[in-house]
Structure 1
Amino acid sequence: MSRTRPRCQANGFTLVEVLIALVLLAMLMLILTSALRTMGQVETRVEQRVEDADDYRLATALLDQALARASARRYPSGNADNAAQVPFFQGGPNALAWVGVMPARYGLGGRHYLRLALEPGEGGARLVLRYAPWTGAPGFDAWGQAAGQVLAAPASALSFRYLDPGTGQWSPVWPPAGVPVSALPANLLPGAVALQVDGPTPPWPPLIVALTPPYATDPSATLGSFGGGTR
């Protein structure tokens, strides 16, 4: 008499169940990958914004310190009636050149010829501060050979205005057109310079720097007239 063996029950998964599990796993991996990519992009944007904000603070601090203490030294204008009555300050509507003290914290220090203007570059125009050691000459034109530092890029437009402390009016050039030397302040310099830069990211707000010439070069200064710019 033969005995029948009990049938063994199958313990594995069917093909349909395996396919469903693989699809669910693939969807989970896709969601996780997308979430990680989004987190990475957010972190990159945050780091870029922090870097841009730091660049802006450094640029404006440099301008504050270099421009605020513009030299009030004078040199002969070539006109016998106004000899020694021209300042080391050439303020135009789109560029500014002056003699000022570069902050020692930037590794330079000392009096320099400086110019702030837009210059062409990769990806568009850039706001560049050019500087060269001061030699005592009444002017400096070799800006192409001068050292430079990019303060903002890209920059689509740059404009300046200059405050006449006597009238309280802003002028697009300095000295103001048609104003005689005798009508200018004793140091022949504007009371403040307003700077507007368009194009950088993040956008630059208007920057106003009050000028406080060093005592040694300002014939109208008092012993307490040392200071920096303000925004």
Structure 2
Amino acid sequence: MGEQRGFTLVEVVVALTVMSLLVLATLTAVRTLGDTHTRVEATTLRLDEMRLVSQFLRNSLRQAVPVRTLARPGGYLLGGRDELSWIAPLQGVEGVAGLQYKRLFLDGDTLMIQFVPFHPALESPDWAEATAHPLLTDVSEFTLAFRENPQSAWLEQWGEQEGVVPRALKLQLRVRERYWPDLIVLPDLYQAGY
């Protein structure tokens, strides 16, 4: 009978080592793929949030109207570095239509918005009685600036004495320790030639 030859212990150890390295490489690739998918999904959600909030704010601020109330004949758009009140139509909300007082402000780390139906006799709505709706969480910085005309400097305050509605509004947001691109809004009334 012929001599039967099997694997030596060294050959078995080498084969197991090579197979272990292949399994390790495969598991590392699968884990990296899973981590990449999680990061891509988080980035996509963050960008969707940025797009939706920016679009909502842009549309709402763009529609700011120079309504003169009995108490404020100069018009109603008031703002500081971290709070803004204005009048604009409210669209897309079930059961609510027409002009609304709107207020945008930071409460802790949450950007909030409030709505109160417009009434020309009101000097300012009672914001303490109005429901505040969270618009964005994890906000560490929120500032506003206003521009009188394209050549002027940005102002930190806007009141009745400045005019009816600024030519441009700039919002700066820092969310989850990342700065969003500045949101600069030009109200429709200037684009329409008022």
Scaled by the length of structure 1, the TM-score of the pair is 0.69
Unmatched tracts of structure 1, length 5 or more: 1-5, 78-83, 214-220, 227-231
1:12 aligns with 2:6: yes
Conserved 8 A contact 1:165-1:191: yes
Change (3 A) 1:202 1:51: farther
C-alpha RMSD of the superposition: 2.9
Report what 2:126 is aligned to.
141
Is the CA contact (8 Å cut-off) linking 1:99 and 1:134 kept in structure 2?
Answer: no
User: CA, structure 1 residues 85+194, in 2 after alignment: closer, same or farther (shift >3 Å)?
Assistant: same
In structure 2, what is the equivalent of residue 75 of structure 1?
Answer: 69
1:143 to 1:38, Cα distance in 2 relative to 1, 3 A: farther
Are residues 202 and 48 of structure 1, via their aligned partners in 2, closer, same or farther at CA, if it must alter by over 3 Å?
farther
1:34 corresponds to 2:28? yes
SS in 2 for 1:72: coil
The answer as to 2:162 corresponding to 1:174 is no
Q: 5 Å matches for 1:56-75?
A: 56-75=50-69
Tell me whether 1:150 sits opposite 2:144 in the alignment: no
Correspondence 1:1-231 to 2 at 5 A = 6=1, 8-77=2-71, 84-104=72-92, 110-120=98-108, 125-128=109-112, 130-136=113-119, 137-142=122-127, 145-151=130-136, 153-165=137-149, 168-175=152-159, 181=161, 184-185=162-163, 188-200=164-176, 203-213=179-189, 225=192
Higher gyration radius (CA): 1
**Contact conserved, 2:81 with 2:144, CA < 8 A, in 1?**
yes
User: TM-score, normalising length from structure 2?
Assistant: 0.80
CA 1:170 to 1:203, structure 2 compared with 1: closer, same or farther past 3 Å? closer
- The corresponding residue for 1:81 is none
Q: 1:201 to 1:47 in 2, by over 3 A?
A: farther
1:147 is displaced (CA, Å) by: 4.4
